[in-house]
Structure formats: structure tokens, C-alpha cells
Amino acid sequence: MAATSTRTGTVLRTSTKPSRSLEHHAPVHGVRWWRELGWRHVVAVVMVVVCVLPLLYVLSASFNPGGTLTGSNQLFRHVSAQNYQNLWGRYFGSWLLNSLLVCTVTAVGTVLMGAAAAYAFSRFRFRGRRGSLTFLLLVQMFPQMLAFVAIFLLLLSLSKVFPAIGVNSQLGLIAVYLGGALGVNTFLMYGFFNTVPRELDEAAKIDGATHAQIFWTIILRLVAPILAVVGLLSFVSSYGEFIIAKIVLQRPEKWTLAVGLYSWAADEKTAPWGLFAAGAVLAAIPVVLLFQFLQKYIVSGLTAGSVKG
């Protein structure tokens, strides 16, 4: 590339070849980018493949009319809706309704009871308050399996007095779920309630509002994110819970989805894996829809509730 001066008539020539400094720094920038960002893309792709491949495998098995998981190594080689049609000829519809009923009541009850307890710990000052909070936290450190025998014996005794909340009762299962979820959710909501300024309570009291009115009309609206998070966590944990539901519920028509689907897969040799895969796909839909509906509250609720004021 040449440039000519109009006054002196001299020709100035500039080289089009890149300088040695640029050639030297180009590989350095590539290595630096790979060390800082490139490896993250590789890890992200591997994680996506690991997460998506099992889902595709189960979805392919649900459309396989052969009813097997290993009939073919090719995904979606056979596509048929026969498994989804055969689901409704069994107890699957009852299991789905039972799960939705139990989990919805558990989620609503957990939110209301936990919010009331968290409001009391956050706004009231009484003897034993700090010790009660510590006790709620310590109870959660013990594994749930330690209480299985005690839960069964307690429900068995209640069956003789009040069968509605005893063994083989969905109401009894809900009561067990509520008792197990109350401690950790109360402590989680307690941290969020402390972020609400007390001046709002004092202003409402000056206007003549009672504690009940403050709780229902002011506080609950301000802590909506943590209520959504607690309700979601309670719904998901009880929706997939198996052991306690298996202990409490004994009749097939009262089973939840976790217990019912396990009954199909109990015998590995004769299990209807096509029906099991189809049921698993349909069982995941309510949880996915709930996550989509409450996703705007999840991050803010968990972040604010994780800090105790």
C-alpha cells in the first residue's frame, strides 16, 4: 500500500503485513480467553448433555409400544401413544389426583402455619423465643428416617380413636408432611420477615389496626416472594416423597404417584417400563408448570430469606 505526497513527490510505503508484536500476542489472547471463559463453555455443554440425555431417553421409552427401555439404542425409533392411552385404564388418574390434593393442601398449610409462626417470632418478644428458634433448627439436623417407626405407631394409635387421620388416610399423610416441613420453613420465613421495617407495623397500629389485620393485609403482601418459595419447595418435596407415603397409605386407590409408579417398577423383569416412562413424563408436568408460574419469586425469595436479620 503506497501513499504519495503532493508537495515533495516522495512515495511513502507502508507494509500490509501484521507486526510481529500482534502475531506474538494473538496466541496469548487465545490462551487467556480459553483459561478464563472457554473451559466454562465446555463444562456448560457437558452439563446440558448430561441433564438432557436422560430426559430424552425416558421420553423415547414412553413412546415405545414394546414396553421396554433397552429394546433399541436409537431414540424415538418407534413412536406410539399407546402407553399414554393405557395409563388411564389403571389407577394412574387416581394417583395423580391424590398427589395434587395432598401436595396442594400441604403447600398451603405449610405457608400459612409457617408464616404465622415466623410473624410471631419476628414481631413479638416473649420468654423462650430464642430457645424455640434454636430448637427448630436443631430438630432439622436429625434425619427423617429416625421418625418412621414413631410416625407409624402414632398413626396406628390414632386410627383406633379417629380413623380420619390414622393409617391409610390422606389427611394423616398431610399432617405428617406439615409437621416435618414446619421447622425449616419457619426459620426461612423468619429471616425474610425481619427485612420488613417495623415502622409499617407501628403506623398501622396508630391507625387502629390489630395484629391480625397487620398480618393479613400488610405483611403477607410484602413477603409474597418467600411465601411462593416455601409453597414451591413444600409442593415439590411432598410430590416426590415416597417412604412416608408408602408407610401411611396401604390401599392402591389412595396411593400417590410416587408409590404407584414404584409399584409398576418393583419387579425389574416384568415391569411395564413403557407405562412407567409415560407416567413419569406426565407426573413432571405439574412441577414444571409450577416452576414457570413462580419463577420470578424464586431468586428474590431465597436470597432475602437466607439472611437472618
CATH number, domain containing residue 249: 1.10.3720.10
Q: Give the Cβ contact number of residue 38 at 10 Å.
A: 13
> Do 44 and 136 belong together in one domain?
no
Condensed to tens digits (0 to 9), the pLDDT of residues 245-289 reads 999 998 999 999 999 999 988 877 778 888 999 999 999 999 999
Q: How far is CA 278 from CA 56, 120, 199, 245, in A?
A: 12, 45, 53, 22
> Do 91 and 58 belong together in one domain?
no
> Domain containing 123: what range?
86-305
Please give the single-letter amino acid code of residue 10. T
Residue 70 lies in a domain: no
Residue 13 lies in a domain: no
Residue 16 lies in a domain: no
Residue 80 lies in a domain: no
What number is the average pLDDT over the span 199-225?
90
> Do 152 and 279 belong together in one domain?
yes
> Do 232 and 132 belong together in one domain?
yes
Residue 170 has pLDDT above 50, yes or no: yes
> Cα 86 to chain center, whole Å?
29
Please state the pTM of the whole predicted model.
Answer: 0.79
Residue 221 lies in a domain: yes
- The total number of structural domains in the chain stands at 2
What number is the average pLDDT over the span 141-168?
88
> Do 31 and 140 belong together in one domain?
no
Mean pLDDT of the chain: 83
> Do 28 and 128 belong together in one domain?
no
Residue 5 has pLDDT above 50, yes or no: no
Residue 69 lies in a domain: no
- Read off the pLDDT band of 8 (50, 70, 90): very low
